[in-house]
Amino acid sequence: MTDPAATTPAVLAEGLVKRYGGVAVVDGIDLTVRRGECFGLLGPNGAGKTTTLRMLLGLTPPDGGRLTVLGEPVPLRAREVRARVGVVPQADNLDPDFTVRENLITYASYFGLSKREVGPRIDALLEFAALDQRSAARVPTLSGGMKRRLTLVRALINDPELVVLDEPSTGLDPQARQHIWQRLRQLRADGRTLILTTHYMDEAERLCDRLAIMDRGRVVACDTPEALVAAAAAGLRYLQRPANLEDVFLQLTGHDLRE
Ligand SMILES: Nc1ncnc2c1ncn2[C@@H]1O[C@H](COP(=O)(O)OP(=O)(O)OP(=O)(O)O)[C@@H](O)[C@H]1O
Ligand SMILES: [Mg+2]
């Protein structure tokens, strides 16, 4: 039988608002993320991307609007939703006192998974992250790329339907980024829904089925990468070369420095 919940979108946000000190940093956004797609959230620094993701996860309470994640109302049922979601936060928050494997065991315990039942899954995840040779290494001895890969597989410990990744590849070398991209494609091929933020336009173009571009708390465009570029092409003809996503991004969000 088809699970009726599987026919609802992964995320449905209507008029979502978050204010800090009277300023709407997320200013009434509508978003629909379909099941099984890789959805990218782009925007300049301070656009409201992390705040939006935190609201989806029930970590930041919205000040307005309606939000449903995996068919459940958030924040009302955020706890139940979080059990079905994997999270890669913008800043690594691995436990520096633990080894690679201990970090995964500890994280698994938050989902009620015992060390014994999670052992084989951890082996598979360490291989997936190409960290199987480093399972006994302490976190401070890992490179930035290794830490990011560990954070990624930590997010998979509960076999999540939806994975939310806030800048998964920031600060990584091209090899490490390619590795992460390949893994994200694999997750999508497994049928998981991915929502990611990135400042790398090539990453957004290559990985994402659809993108929302945010600016000053609002969604200023939402479509496939190809359609966004095609829609902006006429206004970018002065470039005298084919427009790319970065041109579109700058056209929509302006050239001024933020923050
Ligand atoms: N807890 C908070 N208290 C006050 N202001 C906040 C808080 N969290 C975020 N903000 C403000 O909300 C705005 C949006 O921040 P957010 O972190 O969502 O941006 P972002 O799009 O993720 O940016 P970046 O690309 O730099 O990560 C910023 O102006 C930020 O200073
Ligand atoms: Mg952010």
The CATH number of whichever domain residue 82 belongs to comes to 3.40.50.300
Q: Which atom of ligand 1 is nearest to the CA of 18?
A: 12
63 domain residue, yes or no = no
Q: Answer for the pair 259, 45: CB distance below 8 angstroms, yes or no.
A: yes
Q: In the chain, count H helices and then E strands.
A: 9, 10
Q: Atom 4 of ligand 1 has which residue's CA nearest to it?
A: 20
Q: Cα(first)–Cα(last) distance of the chain, in Å?
A: 51
Q: How many domains does the chain have?
A: 1
Ligand 1 contacts (CB < 6 A) are 20, 25, 43, 45-51, 90
Mean pLDDT of 197-217: 97
Distance set, CA 23 to CA 49, 63, 111, 213 (Å): 15, 11, 36, 20
259 domain residue, yes or no = no
Range of the domain at 202: 36-49+76-212+219-253
Give backbone dihedrals phi and psi of 77, rounded to 5 degrees, phi first.
-115, 40
Percentages of the chain per state (helix, strand, coil), in multiples of 5: 40, 25, 35
Q: Answer for the pair 40, 207: CB distance below 8 angstroms, yes or no.
A: yes
Alpha carbon of 196 to ligand 1 centroid (Å): 16
Q: Encode pLDDT of 138-192 as tens digits.
A: 999 999 999 999 999 999 999 999 999 999 999 899 999 999 999 999 999 999 9
67 domain residue, yes or no = no
The pLDDT value given to residue 1: 44
Q: Atom 17 of ligand 1 has which residue's CA nearest to it?
A: 50
Alpha carbon of 21 to ligand 2 centroid (Å): 18
CB atoms within 10 A of CB 9: 17
Mean pLDDT of the chain: 95
